[in-house]
Amino acid sequence: MAAVLNIRGLTKAYKPGMPVLKGIDLDFDERGLTAIIGSSGTGKSTLIRIINRLVNPTEGSILFKGVELSRIEGRQLREVRRRIGMVFQEYNLVERLSVMENLLTGRLGYVSALDAWRRKFPEEDVTHAYELLDIIGLSDFAHQRADSLSGGQRQRVGIARALMQRPEILLADEPTSSLDPKTSVEIMELLKSQGVTNGIPVVVNIHDVELARRFADRIVGMTGGRVVFDGPPAQLTDDHLKMIYGGEGWLQ
């Protein structure tokens, strides 16, 4: 299968001499859901944010479909960003815009600033948005303001916004951490099925090992800024988990 994303020797230090990521090597190909697990503060979030350059890497290379994106800026960066969908822990919807406007935000990279201001989007974008609203079950909410939605509804809108970009990879930074268990499962199901339907890889940061086991095709375990496990969920043993999270009391 063709590679989508190749990360080599990726290092990030917010303060010089105190790296959060210490030389990450990872490859993602065209299909499947990858769950990145690890305790808080281990650099999972930094890793996922570096991929679309919301955070800048200190060293290393990120090759996205043949484009080296660790050093690009300006227009080039924007053109790569619009091919990468991103879902956030706290949904990060624009609260005072309607659900439809939040979805159309996903097309801003393709529409001129003037047309965007006048809310003039191509018809196919609007049609696509309605299709996605059908998929996430919020067809009747197009005109509702984002701040009137529940947490689960907001996250579904967040996913739909990312899908509006017709992304070639979908990143999700702790998408279920602010949600109740039942909604979390629904969100994971949605991410998984959308990855399959669109034939794109999905990379999810997640605390919950059980959710990761249930939905992931591949699990990456991180601790102390390094990858310590990389393989299918079936191979993930308690020993691995001890290494990833440290201690063992929580396993019982």
Residues near another protein, by CB under 8 A? 52, 54, 77-84, 86, 88, 90, 92-98, 100-101, 105-109, 111, 113, 116-117, 119, 123, 126-127, 129-130, 139-144, 158, 161, 165
> What does the DSSP assignment read for 119-144?
T---HHHHHHHHHHHHHTT-GGGTTS
Whole-angstrom distance, CA of residue 43 vs CA of residue 20: 6
Nearer to another protein, 56 or 237 (CB): 56
Q: Shortest gap between Cβ of 172 and another protein (angstroms)?
A: 12
CB of 79 to another protein, least distance (A): 7
Q: Which is nearer to another protein, 11 or 92 (CB)?
A: 92
60, 9 in Cβ contact below 8 A? yes
Provide the minimum distance between the beta carbon of 90 and another protein in the complex, in angstroms, as a whole number: 6
Task: Return the structure tokens found at 232.
Answer: 């299918």
DSSP 40-85: TTSSHHHHHHHHTTSS--SEEEEEETTEE-SS--HHHHHHHHTTEE
Structure tokens at 3: 């590679």
Residue closer to another protein (CB basis): 29 or 79: 79
Q: Which is nearer to another protein, 104 or 211 (CB)?
A: 104
Query: Closest distance between another protein and the C-beta of residue 221, in Å?
Result: 26
